[in-house]
Amino acid sequence: MSSRLESLKLRFKLVARSLLAIFRDPYGAAGSAIFLFMVAIALLAPYLPIPDPGSIDFPKFLPPSHSHPFGTDYLGRDVLSRVIWGARVSLSVGLIAAGISAAIGILLGAIAGFFGGLTDNVVNSLIEIFLMMPTFFLVLVIVAIFGSNLFYIMIVIGLTTWPVTARIMRAQTMSVKEMLFVEAARALGADSKRLLFLHVMPISIYPAIANTILSIGNAIMIEAALSYLGLGDPNLPSWGRIIYEGQPYVTSAWWIALFPGVFLVLTVLSINFIGDAFMRLYSPGLREA
Amino acid sequence: MGMGTYIAKRVVHSIGIIFVILFLNFIIINSAPGNPALFMGGEVALSSPEYVKALMHRWGLDKPLYERTLIYFEHLLKGDLGYSYRYMEPVSSLILERLPVTLLLTLSSSLLAFVIGVWLGLASARRVKSKTDAAITTTMFVFWSTPSFWLGIMLMILFGVRLRLFPVSGMVSVSHLGGGIWYYLDILYHAVLPVTTLTLIMTPLYYKLTRDTAIQQLREDYVTTFRAVGLGEGYLFRKYVFRNSILPPITAFGLQLGYAVAGAVLVENVFGWPGMGRLLLDSILMRDYPVIMGIYVFVSVTVILSILLVDILYALLDPRIKYG
């Protein structure tokens, strides 16, 4: 029992050390700071001293001023408040869609790489088919036909973006399973399930995690693009939707489209910074790149 | 395995994938809510039971599922993507009509992005870890994280609305509809902002690939040797590093085409560019399902064919490739 505790402690230390390493990387530190800020405003939105995002009490098209730092939109809603509430929508789409995509990709990739044979053939063909399909169009068509609510959008993005993670995880698993320590564990009598989940996966998972971080940003971009085309959830103020609503007025009220876009770029940029730092730290081949 | 066998294998493989995608398309159409005939026939079908019957017959909807699948593929193989009730035209001719203007955007911006990305990537790799390298890399990160439609709107506000340097919307001005050289020059003038937007969005991909490959090349023994014998850095880069770093971006060119068309769809909507993207959005708003599905099939097949083409070119270009 105590050895298990020891190994848990060791693992905890490793995680803490890897987080510290990311904070020490200049891109990683900048990315983490911006991302934490976005998460903070998303979580604190109900408690911040801002007007209700749906309230139409203000004059229309007010340019940015002291009382409305981001101005008001075509219905007289406060753009700052909508952008802050939009962080909740965009971040939850990103996190949940990337979570679904990671769960499928990591599991399928690990199983295919570890067991090989027919399983691998089937999974690999699936990966190839999905990789060649223009994902954005598939999501667009499904949402256009089956309706656009946020729940659908998250699931459809998750179900169509897993192949990249799966491909990375498969390759990693294939190389790690040939290592000596796996052979040793097998000789000690570990069964396949134990070998895969306790010995191979903890070593091979890092590049897949890096890719999952990047796919959070990707999912946020896909949702924003859908919303910009008018296919987002009409009931929730996502950043893409605010830009969509501001588009007809860009010649006179530029602030409606500008600010949500700035938040969108900063968020995706911060995620890409973190993902890139993670990739450089844990994918040895690219360390100097 | 010889090159002929390799190419044949890739062709068969691509055809297989195309069939899977078409089949998926069939499943999506058939699992959509409501009667597929109403779905394919649109509003006209709602008021006319005879039309529904005719449609059911034409698409074989009164037959069992396996027969329907065969009929569906038969229509597709003939190039029949369905009929748009909104435009009263076959979907395929609608798409072909809009294709050239979309290609003008996607191809020109893809090529520009390729050239600029490879050039900047090599420039960065040459000064790796310098301030210039850091500045270019960070800028590329920003563009990589920027949605095409938003960048388009911002460029439009800045250069179209504020500075009045470029037209805000459309493809050609009414005064130049007459044709001739001014007509084409006017189209180019209108294309500046959309093409710039797409180029900026796609450059980072080529930049990162080229920079990473070139940095790996710099660690190779041949580079050490050439430096040791006193070969100039410029010559070394132009003659050797460049040639070895250009293959990954070439592969990416085929793979990113789907991404480029997706970007074009969004950017066309920003600038009112009358291409496939505009057609797609109008069809979504009007629930013109045959057109939506037709564009999806068309784009998927085009992307897969271009990946195939690039793979074959790659096999011909790179003598080291193993056919496996």
Q: CB distance B258–A144 less than 8 Å?
A: no
- Nearest CA-CA partner of B208 in B245, B233, B262, B259: B245
The number of C-beta contacts closer than 8 angstroms across A and B is 121
Beta bridge partners of A78: A72
Say yes or no to pLDDT of B143 above 90.
yes
- CB-nearest to A141 from B33, B270, B293 is B293
A25 close contact with B: CB closer than 8 A: no
The angle formed by the CA atoms of residues B43, B81 and B287, to the nearest 5 degrees, is: 30
**Domain range spanning residue A193?**
90-264
For residue B273, pLDDT over 60 is answered with yes
Looking at residues B215-219, what average pLDDT do you find?
Answer: 87
pLDDT at B38 over 70: no
CB within 8 Å: A133 and B285: no
**Is residue A135 assigned to a domain?**
yes
**Interface check B154 vs A, CB under 8 A:** yes
Question: Is A106:A169 a contact under the CB 8 Å cutoff?
Answer: yes
Mean pLDDT score of chain B, rounded to an integer? 83
Inter-chain contact A257–B153, Cβ cutoff 8 Å? yes
Taking CB atoms and an 8 Å limit, are B300 and A243 in contact across chains? no
Cβ distance of B216 and A289 shorter than 8 Å: yes
pLDDT of residue A286: 46
A229 in contact with chain B, both atoms CB, cutoff 8 A: yes
Over residues B215-221, mean pLDDT = 86
| B61-86: average pLDDT | 75
Q: Which residue of A has its CA nearest to B291?
A: A141
Amino acid at B204: P
Report CB contact under 8 Å: A250, B300: no
Identify whether the C-beta of residue B294 lies closer than 8 Å to the C-beta of residue B22.
no
Q: What is the pLDDT of residue B324?
A: 44
User: Do residues A130 and A163 make contact, with C-beta atoms less than 8 angstroms apart?
Assistant: yes
Judged against a pLDDT cut of 60, whether residue B47 lies above it is answered with yes
Q: Which of A137, A142, A269 sits opposite B142 (nearest CB)?
A: A269
Residue type, B215: I
A46 assigned to some structural domain = no
**Any CB–CB contact under 8 A between B261 and chain A?**
yes
pLDDT at B208: 93
B102-124: average pLDDT: 93
**From the list B20, B262, B269, which residue is nearest A134 (CB)?**
B262
Q: Residue A169 has what pLDDT?
A: 93
Closest in A137, A144, A254 to B262, CB measured: A137
**pLDDT number for residue B222:** 86
- pLDDT, averaged per 10 consecutive residues of chain A (289 residues), comes to 75 81 89 96 88 79 82 84 92 96 95 92 88 84 83 91 92 88 85 84 88 94 92 88 89 88 96 91 55
pLDDT of B319 higher than 70: no
Contact: A243, B216; criterion CB under 8 Å: no
Task: Report the CATH number that the domain containing residue A103 is assigned in CATH.
Answer: 1.10.3720.10
Query: Smallest Cα–Cα separation from B192: which of B248, B108, B127?
Result: B108
Mutate to test the interface with A, among B139, B150, B306 (most CBs of A within 10 A): B150
Rg (CA), chain B: 24
pTM of the model: 0.88
CA distances B159 to A10, B62, B190, B272, B314, Å, are 56, 56, 12, 16, 40
Rounded Cα distance between B98 and B281, Å, is 13
Q: Is residue A126 part of a domain?
A: yes
CATH of B98-317, one of 3.40.309.10, 3.40.50.720, 1.10.3720.10, 3.40.50.2000: 1.10.3720.10
Half-sphere exposure of B185 (CA within 13 A, CB side): 5
Q: Is residue A253 one of the residues assigned to a domain?
A: yes
Nearest-CA distance B128 → chain A (Å): 9
Residue B91: its pLDDT value, please?
87
User: Is A227 part of any domain?
Assistant: yes
Domain boundary assignment for chain B: 3-77, 98-317
Give the confidence band of B37 by pLDDT, cuts at 50, 70, 90: low
Q: How far is A267 from chain B (nearest CA, A)?
A: 8
**Calculated CA dihedral for residues B232, B235, B240, B243, nearest 10 degrees:** 150
Neighbouring C-alpha atoms within 13 Å toward the C-beta of B130? 9
